[in-house]
Amino acid sequence: MNEPLSIAGRRVLVTGGAGFIGSNFVHRLLAKHPDAHVVVLDALTYAGRRENLHGLRDTQMTFVHGDIRDPEAVATAMQGCDYVLNFAAESHVDRSIETPGDFIQTDVYGVFVLAEEARRVGVKRFIQVSTDEVYGEVLEGHSTEDWALNPRSPYAASKAGGDRLAYAYWCTYGLPVVVTRCSNNYGPRQYPEKLVPLFVTNAIDGEMLPVYGNGKNTRDWLHVDDHCDALLTLLEFPGIEGETFNIGAQHELDVLTITGTLLELLNKPKTLIRYVEDRPGHDRRYAVDSSKLTRVTGFTPKIDFKTGIRQTVEWFQANESWWRPIKQGEFREYYERMYGQRKVLGEVKA
């Protein structure tokens, strides 16, 4: 019989915990287990925001400013921790096309550093948060956990490398690894390079919404709270070491549909849409089968898309003080590189 796990009263290391998914996870973990203590390790690069952790008490959380590629920083952060969740990653496909080496260093070598320290201290569970993009394009059906990996961007390839390296530490050293592969997340605190926050904040300001190609690229859209709750379930579920779990919402929408929904919620015109030259190697569809997660643990997503996307738009409307400073400086330079010179293919007429 497998020994039950519990994070009640335990120390949990969350890497990348000042980023979008990581910070939402920290808030939900401590809401569910207020007697746990979270150690957040984050390098606070462009997408890591210290303010994402505001409202948490020092008795609940310790923040360590450091990089997962740095063994000393990792050893400091992991000291006394029984559980590790690795959210830290370079995670935007467009940026991976510009600087692929950064992605390999963080998403592969960083996993190696974390796994080595976790093996040394003997953690009870190590969750490697991966992505559905490791499967590559899924033009028909839904990818199950035993599908061959076929990443088609430097980002997806780097995540596949970290994903399989973590699994290798289970096979070789017995490190109690669980790998998860989630679909597209949306929700509060998402850095505005991603589609939903970029389009919402652009539309609020009356700026164009740059839609790649014909806008028919399709993704499965999962609210970040459902993703975090699935991870909380897997963190404590016994007997799943060495397993991989897809986490999806089974709610596929293409970019044009998402864009139209956002404009409708914001009461903005569709004339803001600009069709622009597509990025290289843009995968047309991702779709995961997450029935294994439900079958093994009983977990199912709770937040329907209509409710989740409305609440997300309302959060960005109510928190301009969070995103307006972000969309200056480095972000503005990045935005101009990505979209400023990109060929416009068409626009929506009034």
Tokens of 91: 């995670």
pLDDT in tens, 260-278: 999 999 999 999 999 988 7
Number of domains in the chain: 1
Question: CATH number, domain at 229?
Answer: 3.40.50.720
How many CB atoms lie under 10 A from the CB of residue 60? 17
Beta bridge partners of 288: 143
What pLDDT, on a 0 to 100 scale, did the predictor assign at position 166?
A: 98
Task: Judge whether residue 46 has pLDDT over 90.
Answer: no
% of the chain beyond a pLDDT of 90: 79
Check 42, 67, 94, 132 and give the catalytic one: 132
Averaged pLDDT, 288-295: 98
Q: What is the CA radius of gyration of the chain?
A: 20
301 vs 282: CA distance, rounded Å? 27
Task: Report the b/e string of 291-329 with b at 16+ CB within 10 A.
Answer: ebbeeeeebebebebeebbeebbebbeeeeebbeebbee
The reply to whether 83 belongs to the active site is: no
Rounded Cα–Cα distance for residues 53 and 65 (Å) = 13
Percent of the chain surpassing pLDDT 70: 98
Question: Which amino acid appears at position 5 of this protein?
Answer: L
pLDDT tens string 148-157: 999 988 899 9
Dist. CA 198–CA 196, nearest whole Å: 5
Residue 165 lies in a domain: yes
CA angle 227, 4, 244 (to 5 degrees): 40
46 is catalytic: no
d(CA 339, CA 346): 14
The type of residue at 298 is: G
pLDDT (average), residues 204-230: 95
Residue 330 has pLDDT above 90, yes or no: no
Residue 197 lies in a domain: no
Through-space distance between the first and last CA atoms of the chain, rounded to whole angstroms: 65
- Cα–Cα distance measured from residue 182 to residue 219, given in angstroms and rounded to the nearest whole number: 11
Clarify whether 132 is annotated catalytic: yes
- Which of 42, 117, 135, 155 is catalytic? The answer is 155
Q: Are 249 and 305 in contact (CB under 8 A)?
A: yes
pTM of the full structure: 0.95
Is the per-residue pLDDT at 300 higher than 70? yes
For residue 1, the model assigns a pLDDT of 45
Is the residue at 257 inside a domain? no
Categorize the per-residue pLDDT at 233 as very low, low, confident or very high, splitting at 50, 70 and 90. very high
Q: Tell me the average pLDDT across 44-64.
A: 91
157-203: pLDDT as tens digits: 999 999 999 999 999 999 999 999 999 999 999 999 899 999 999 99
Q: Are 259 and 209 in contact (CB under 8 A)?
A: yes
Q: What is the pLDDT of residues 74-93, one digit of tens each?
A: 999 999 999 999 998 776 67
Find the helix or strand (DSSP H, E) in which 129 lies: strand 125-131
d(CA 83, CA 8): 11
Say if strands 37-42 and 11-15 run parallel, antiparallel, or are unpaired: parallel
Query: Is residue 98 pLDDT above 80, yes or no?
Result: no
DSSP 157-219: HHHHHHHHHHHHHHHHH---EEEEEE-EEE-TT--TTSHHHHHHHHHHTT--EEEETTS--EE
Q: Which domain holds residue 299?
A: 11-187+223-250+284-303
Residue 340 domain-assigned (yes or no): no
Among 334, 293, 336, smallest CA distance to 92 is for: 334
pLDDT at 157: 93
**Mean pLDDT computed over 337-347:** 79
The mean pLDDT value of the chain amounts to 93
**Distance set, CA 277 to CA 181, 200, 280 (Å):** 29, 21, 9
Residue with tokens 């979008």, as numbered in its chain: 20
Catalytic residue selected from 90, 133, 145, 243: 133
The answer as to whether 308 is a domain residue is no
- Per DSSP, what are the bridge partners of residue 283? none
Dump strand ranges (E) for 192-343.
Answer: 209-212, 218-223, 244-247, 252-254, 273-276
16 pLDDT higher than 70: yes
Give yes or no for residue 94 having a pLDDT over 80.
Answer: no
